[in-house]
Amino acid sequence: MYSKLNLRSRWKLNFCRLKNVAEEITERASAACKWKPALVIALAAGLQLASVARVEGALLMEEGFNYAVGGSLGINSPWTGTTSTALGIASGSLSVTNLRSIVPGGNSLQISAAATASARRNFSATAVTANSVYCSFLVNCVTLSTNRQFLMSILPSGATSASPPDDPLDVYAQPSGGGYRFTITCVGSDPASASKILTTNTTHLVVIKYWFGTLGLGSLYIDPVPGGTEPANADIVTSSDDNIGASSLQELLFRSTAGQGVWNFDTVRVGTNWSDVVPMGTALTLSGPQDRAICSDSSAFFSVTADGTPPFFYQWRTNGIAVPGATNSSYQLLSPGLSAASNSYDVVVQDSFGTVTSRVATVTLSAIPAAIKTQPAGPWVTPSTSNAVFSVTAGGDAPLTYQWRTNGVAIVGATNSNYIVTNTASADPSLQYDVVVSNPCATVTSSPPVSLEFPSVFYAASDAGPGFFSGENLVLTNSGGLTLQAWSSTSLSIPITQWNLEGAMQEQPLNDGSGKSFYSINVMPATSPEYYIFGHSLSPPYLAPIPILAITTDPSGFYLLANSQMGIAPNGTLASPSVQLSIAPHAGGGLDLTGSGIAGNTYLLQMCTNFQAPVQWLTINTNVADLNGVIQFFDTNGSAPVRFYRLLGQ
């Protein structure tokens, strides 16, 4: 160990050498100027700027002293050293605001005055030989020492004991003014003390730093801001003696001294980067608990998720009163009575930095199970349909929830009592829809699944042109119980979504035992549109009626209606008619009837004069479609007041 006089002589020699090397002065010579305070401040500031620019490092060690209370630190691996409990494990942990805790935090290290003892451990698997090493710790002085007390060291690789002040970096506590000041030495330097005087029984965050270089440089920071950047100025800065620095660092050592003060240490971190050893804690936030709806004979389960700095401590409450034993992240309310619905439930959570109270959760009790009163029906998609609506009527105690599905797969967002299908012209008719209705007591699914219903057949009626003035009667016969609507369009090229609804057809059962009905509607067209009658049966498959042609006359003349079966595709486009029939007056009397069919096929022309039971259809002509698929007929009895024709293929 050097004498103070020799140390001063060596420092002055060092200072002279450093004056001639500008780079050494600006980066490493803060300790050489310790006799000139103004220059020390300037060079220390320059030193910090140089260290900030270095490459980011890494966290090497975290120590929360998670060992058995009352035992010696030296007997707990990876620590090694004396077995005296003068350097032992005490219960409880130290903490400061906003510093992230170490998990598991365990207990704390107590350095007592009972005896002299030491314990050490490697803080890195391999020795650190360049840049910087940082060590942070929490410290609380319980009892002041009477003299300067040696507390801890950062040692080189392979060291088995401390040799203050010749170690790379030693930390002491110096009694001062009723309190104490921290003091450090660096490779044989004179002790350098902080100006801050600290009081007993107060926890402080302290960071020590060793910077490799031609000179070994040591510094100490008191109560830096967790999560902040490295301060521009340290509370203590010193450098090694005689231009000598440490070649490596790998070990951390604590020591107690008989007859000195009592100290507690905790949350020790070692790293090569400032931010690793002074990390800011995560603010405590809570997710949950959620409201619960249960059946009256069930239990309610609440849970909360905490995000912060562990460990977490929980206390569930009912109406603000703590529930004994409910100290986990979840809480189960067994067989709640009717009063549970008026109670509130929350949880108070505490972590290393504070306490947060969760949102208030409630319980809803149900007794009547969910049930479906009216099953969904498949909406009928007509030319003017833009949106199709599925709906269900359900009963049971609230809360009722709904989930619509297609082919058994849940539809995202379809959680109301009705579900709307938009853009039906391009909808998929193969999709089957159902809905799952639930409450806390039951879950039921509608049945059977239903689909969008597109009319598979319809009838076309064409206006006869000049001669009518009192409207037009659209008539046909078909199976009873159908819902038929008449639509009009001035052209088949107009999209069916733009057709006009003329109205619903009136049904008159024939009562002839056939199960058929007579359907009619009177329309008053302003122009000469084409008419289409859509047939809709109560359930698929849709009935395919025989095309019917109706002819009516009145005292002012006559006009004709031509009906033929046509198809409509699921995307709303028209299919080609299978058989069409048009009528025109014959020059010499009677009627010319022209059909369109398949070339070479035989067709029958049938006629009746009314639809009263029993309907008597009479075949009046037979013909074969020519090469163009045209079928020609002539009826000399066209003067009857009302005559109905139909064309059948054989």
Lowest mean per-residue pLDDT among 170-184, 227-241, 481-495, 536-550? 536-550
Q: In the predicted model, what is the mean pLDDT of residues 562-591?
A: 49
Average pLDDT over residues 17-27: 33
Res 374: pLDDT: 93
**Which bin fits 34, alpha (ψ -120 to 50), beta or left (φ > 0)?**
alpha
For 324, the token pair is 């004994």
Say what percent of the chain tops pLDDT 90. Answer: 46
- Judged against a pLDDT cut of 60, whether residue 165 lies above it is answered with yes
Provide CB contacts within 8 A for 289, sequence distance 6+: 302, 303, 304, 331, 345, 346, 347, 358, 359, 361
Q: Which of 47, 41, 48, 26 is nearest to 230 (CA)?
A: 48
Measured between alpha carbons, how far is residue 157 from residues 128, 472, 648 in Å?
9, 109, 107
Who has greater pLDDT, 565 or 351?
A: 351
In whole angstroms, give the CA distance from residue 13 to residue 58. 36
Residue 538's pLDDT is what?
35
Which 3-state string (H, E, C) describes 83-96? CCCCEEEECCCCCC
Residue 166 has pLDDT above 60, yes or no: yes
Q: What is the mean pLDDT of residues 279-283?
A: 84
pLDDT at residue 230 tops 70 = yes
| Confidence (pLDDT) at 592 | 76
Cβ neighbours, 10 Å, residue 511: 12
Q: Which of 62-76, 186-200, 338-352 has the lowest mean pLDDT?
A: 338-352
Query: What is the rounded CA–CA span in Å between residue 72 and residue 343?
Result: 51
Token pair for residue 43? 């060079």
| C-alpha closest to that of 24 among 219, 217, 232 | 217
pLDDT tier at 516, thresholds 50, 70, 90:
confident
Ranking 1-15, 423-437, 593-607 by mean pLDDT, the lowest is 1-15
Give the other-Cβ count within 10 Å of 428's Cβ: 12
Quick one: average pLDDT of 611-622?
Answer: 69
Q: Is the pLDDT of residue 473 over 70?
A: no
Classified by CATH at the fold level, domain 57-277 comes out as Jelly Rolls (2.60.120)
Looking at residue 42, its pLDDT comes to 28
Q: Which of 230-234, 330-334, 641-645 has the lowest mean pLDDT?
A: 641-645
Residue spans of beta strands (DSSP E) within 144-225: 149-155, 169-176, 179-185, 192-193, 203-211, 217-222
Rounded distance between C-alpha atoms, residue 447 and residue 452, angstroms: 15
**Residue 50 pLDDT > 80:** no
Which residues have CB under 8 Å from 313's CB, separation 6+?
Answer: 327, 349, 350, 351
546: nearest Cα among 500, 608, 485: 608
CA proximity to 531, closest of 570, 560, 572, 573: 560
Under DSSP, the state recorded for 224 is P
Residue from 148, 151, 203, 144 nearest 178 by CA: 144
Q: Please check whether the two domains, 285-366 and 371-445, share a CATH topology.
A: yes
Secondary structure (3-state) at 404: strand
Is the N-terminal amide bond of 78 cis, ω within 30° of 0?
A: yes
The 3-state secondary structure of 340-380, one letter per residue: HHHCCEEEEEECCCCEEECCCECEEEECCCCEEEECCCCCE
Query: Among candidates 117, 249, 120, which has minimal Cα distance to 187?
Result: 249
pLDDT of 637 above 80: no
More confident residue, 480 or 330: 330
Please give the share of the chain, as a percent, with pLDDT higher than 70.
Answer: 70
Whether the CB-CB separation of 639 and 552 falls below 8 Å is answered with no
Which residues lie across from 134 on neighbouring strands? 209, 271
User: CA distances (Å), 401 to each of 311, 391, 395, 444, 445, in order?
Assistant: 38, 14, 11, 11, 12
Tell whether the model's pLDDT for residue 456 goes beyond 60.
no
561-565-567-568 Cα dihedral, nearest 10 degrees: 30
CA 309, CA 285: separation in Å to the nearest integer?
A: 10
> Higher model confidence: residue 347 or residue 11?
347
Instruction: Look at residue 442 and tell me whether its pLDDT is greater than 80.
Output: yes
Q: What is the pLDDT of residue 635?
A: 77
Residue 7 pLDDT more than 70? no
- In angstroms, rounded to a whole number, what is the distance separating the alpha carbons of residues 184 and 191? 6
Tell whether the model's pLDDT for residue 420 goes beyond 80: yes
pLDDT grade for 395, boundaries at 50, 70 and 90: very high
Tell me how far CA of residue 434 lies from CA of 9, 71, 148, 188, 371, in angstroms.
95, 68, 83, 84, 14
Q: Rounded to whole angstroms, how far apart are CA atoms 403 and 394?
A: 12
Comparison of pLDDT for 206 and 48, the residue scoring more: 206
Give, in order, the Cα–Cα distances in Å from 400 to each of 176, 204, 209, 311, 406: 73, 57, 64, 39, 20
Average pLDDT estimate for 386-406: 92
pLDDT of 229 above 70: yes
530: how many CB neighbours lie within 10 A of its CB? Answer: 18
- Domain chopping of the chain, boundaries: 57-277, 285-366, 371-445, 458-649
- Among 389-403, 449-463, 618-632, the minimum mean pLDDT is found in 449-463
Q: How confident is the model at residue 547 (pLDDT cuts 50, 70, 90)?
A: very low
Query: CA angle at residue 226 from 224 to 231, to 5 degrees?
Result: 40
Q: What is the mean pLDDT of residues 184-211?
A: 95
User: What's the chain's Rg over C-alpha atoms?
Assistant: 49
* Residue 460 confidence class, pLDDT cut points 50, 70, 90: very low
Mean pLDDT of the chain: 77
The closest alpha carbon to 237, from 185, 187, 197, belongs to: 185
- Chain centre to alpha carbon of residue 332: 26
Question: Are 420 and 462 contacting, i.e. CB atoms less than 8 angstroms apart?
Answer: no
What is the pLDDT confidence band of residue 424, given thresholds at 50, 70 and 90? confident
CATH 1.10.730.10 fits 285-366, yes or no: no
Strand order in the sheet with 500-504: 500-504, 483-489, 530-536, 457-462, 565-567
Lowest-confidence region among 87-91, 197-201, 426-430: 426-430
**What values do phi and psi take at 317, rounded to 5?**
-135, 150
Please give the average per-residue pLDDT across 426-436, as a whole number: 85
Q: What is the pLDDT of residue 269?
A: 97
What is the Cα–Cα distance from 358 to 328, expressed in whole angstroms? 14
Is pLDDT of 565 > 50? no
Distance of CA 446 to the CA centre of its chain: 30
371-445, CATH topology level: Immunoglobulin-like (2.60.40)
Residue-wise pLDDT for 334-388, tens only, equals: 878 777 788 999 999 998 778 999 999 999 888 899 999 999 988 877 656 678 8
Residue 240 has pLDDT above 80, yes or no: yes
